[in-house]
Structure 1
């Protein structure tokens, strides 16, 4: 009787191993990995991208830019600089607005329910340290044309607001 229990357990383990192997895809041996295309922007972001392009025809608009392409650590201490680099390594901004010389004019964020105040404030402060102004628009109340242009390019009062938030500006 004990031998049957041992045989039954061995068969069950063998079946489980075979089932797992059948469900797993073989690993690529070339070190490349396995990938598929991702959407660059959501539908909401694409809609706002068109509004930005229309409102700012004399500027370039770049979507989904890595923060590491915009700011770098300023610390001369290598360990602190590494920690600061890691803080922004996986972060992206929604849109970067540049003039025709490709100088950053502003970062534009389209805030929806996934945005969190304290985290956004830290991101804005990091960009502000690099002399990059952040302009935020509410996703549910996206402005058009002239309101976007004034908010992004600013008037003297708006330029002084490093992380201005606009709903229906």
Structure 2
């Protein structure tokens, strides 16, 4: 009987230790916890609304992973993985697609933090261009009007997954 009480105490102790270690949280980091955040900043929401007004027959997708838009193929062993690592955790501010869900343009809304990132932004734009996308960049401080957005985007042809985007 004493043997069963001892085994029960050991099992209870193990359960308590496991529960304390996990703390009921889904994170591995001690003390860290997950919290929700807004999909868009206030500034991005205003720009999203401007895009929607400018392009009522298009779809606007905010905060799209570059990994959802392009992939790396070919090369020598490991080359595609190295290339994919250059873009797979990056996010495009807005993707504009036509009624067939073909991408027409990638849009970046650059705020003051981009002043020191011109080289990084240029490298991103070269990658997306290589994949066949046109990236339009607008300054956050001087956002374009709906008419300017409409003009800039409607002059572009949709990007087929196998082709290259080009202005009409």
Match for residue 58 of structure 1? 57
Alpha-carbon distance in structure 2 between the residues aligned to 1:61 and 1:107 = 10
In the alignment, which residue of structure 2 is the partner of 1:114?
113
Does residue 32 (structure 1) correspond to residue 26 (structure 2)? The answer is yes
Query: Structure 1 CA distance, aligned partners of 2:130 and 2:121?
Result: 14
Deviation per residue, 1:116-137 (Å, 9 max, x gap) = 1111111111110111100011
In 1: Cα distance, 2:102 partner to 2:121 partner: 23
CA distance in 2, matches of 1:38, 1:90: 18
Q: Shift of the alpha carbon at 1:114?
A: 1.6
Measure, in 2, the Cα distance between the counterparts of 1:78 and 1:29.
Answer: 42
Which residue in the other structure is 1:82 paired with? 81
Which deviates more from structure 2 when the two are superposed, residues 143-152 or residues 45-54? 143-152
Q: In 1, distance between residues paired with 2:21 and 2:54?
A: 48
Query: For structure 2, which runs of at least 5 residues remain unmatched after alignment?
Result: 1-19, 28-32, 158-165
TM-score (norm 2): 0.73
Shift of 1:153: 2.1
What's 1:44 paired with?
43
CA shift, 1:154, in A, is 2.2
- How many residue pairs end up in the alignment? 133
Residue of structure 2 equivalent to 1:101: 100
CA deviations 1:14-37 (Å, max 9, x no partner) are xxxxxxxxxxxx542778324110
Determine the structure 2 residue equivalent to 1:129.
130
**1:117-167 deviation digits (Å, cap 9, x = unpaired):** 1111111111101111000111110012111111122279xx55xxxxxxx
Q: CA RMSD in A?
A: 2.0
Structure 1 counterpart of 2:13: none
Ranges in structure 1 where 5+ consecutive residues have no aligned partner: 1-25, 161-169
Shift of 1:38: 1.3
1:39-81 CA-to-partner distances (Å, cap 9, x unmatched) read 1111111100000000000000000000001111133434111
* Range moving further from structure 2, 73-82 or 42-51: 73-82
Are the counterparts in 1 of residues 106 and 133 from structure 2 also a CA contact under 8 Å? yes
